[in-house]
Copies of this chain bind each other. A is one copy, B any other.
């Protein structure tokens, strides 16, 4: 397995502020990895609301089942996350594990089991030893402190080459509220959503149903618009927690998703989600380049997104970008195979601002040299105009390199 950090990693990390009502602790539980943290507890004050979106896999992991069954209560007191073992496809043993960890976590925070959430990421099919997690829980709750967001992001990494954190501060009413997010994910990344875990917390006082609506709508153009390898994990989990602690500083309690005071918060949350999603793509296994794909002029936004994902998931497009080759013929191929309405002789394709094809053939003015220079960049923007409507969508992916094959050819062994 490669240990080199992605060349697309952020040059520096933001200083992560505290979120009033959230405390964090990590431990080296030795679930699989040695000499690094692999267990995260995030403890929430009473009154914290919760929302979540999960993998659409028909074979979800045991923790996903566990979270889904607790989510209707909409209350969270603790989140427990381990890396190294996904507790997926572990049958009855998996359910016993989540029940055992759930009970121990509830006891540690002296709260109902329905306020416990958990996530696991790593190898599929290996039984997860509950005791290695349980023995740490009381201690973690005791030592949890408001700082440590970057440590939290590190503890949940698997093949990630860097921790992923984002923060924003925004007005809710006249009061500043903060949103912090962490994520992990590098391979098995595809809508919907990825071997992707992401946890976002805020001190804004927002009721659980409103939080759920914000999160569900926010994923469409963020986490559900990124793909590394078209493979959807059994474990994808994105959760949003709101402690409400800003209420005592004057922030209004929001109980209606249509409340106009939410507008700024919604935009900030969507930026957080997009920031985290892009960091996942930029850490795509073996990735050397980020690729932004915008499809315009499709029959509908849904059709545009399907075409964009067909391009983003094409191994031939992704290997061409890896080879710094502006092989727009493969983009035509990917448009064609998407099965969506398209008119060959109306297609236009751009790499950055260079139009390489229009009206169904090579652009006569297109300069191979300029395009070759453009393809050497770290961030490649591809735009395709279908020319038949007004549907538009943007998705993000990364290139497909030999390193991806190397990482995934030796992962388990």
Tell me the bound Cα distance from A229 to B406 in angstroms. 17
**Contact between chains at B232 and A58 (CB < 8 Å):** no
Which of B126, B347, B400 has a CB less than 8 Å from the CB of A362?
B126
**Contact between chains at A360 and B91 (CB < 8 Å):** yes
Chain multiplicity (copies): 2
Tell me the bound Cα distance from A322 to B361 in angstroms. 37
Residues of B within 8 A of A324 (CB): 413
Segment with Cβ contacts to B, from A13-21, A138-146, A338-346: A338-346
- Label chain A's interface by main secondary structure: loop
Residues of B within 8 A of A360 (CB): 89, 91
Q: Is A376 at the interface (CB under 8 A from chain B)? A: no
Interface members, chain A 273-311 (any B CB < 8 Å) = none
Kindly state the interface size class of chain A when it binds its partner. Answer: 35 or more
Tell me the bound Cα distance from A351 to B258 in angstroms. 53
Residues of B within 8 A of A315 (CB): 229-231, 315, 400, 404, 408
Q: Closest CB-CB distance, A223 to chain B, in whole Å?
A: 15
Q: Is A233 at the interface (CB under 8 A from chain B)? A: yes
Most buried by B among A91, A123, A231, A315: A315
Q: Closest CB-CB distance, A190 to chain B, in whole Å?
A: 7
**Contact between chains at A361 and B320 (CB < 8 Å):** no
The residue of chain B having its C-beta at the shortest distance from the C-beta of A323 within the complex is B409
Residues of B within 8 A of A92 (CB): 361
Residues of B within 8 A of A325 (CB): 409-413
Which of B314, B329, B404 has a CB less than 8 Å from the CB of A88?
B329
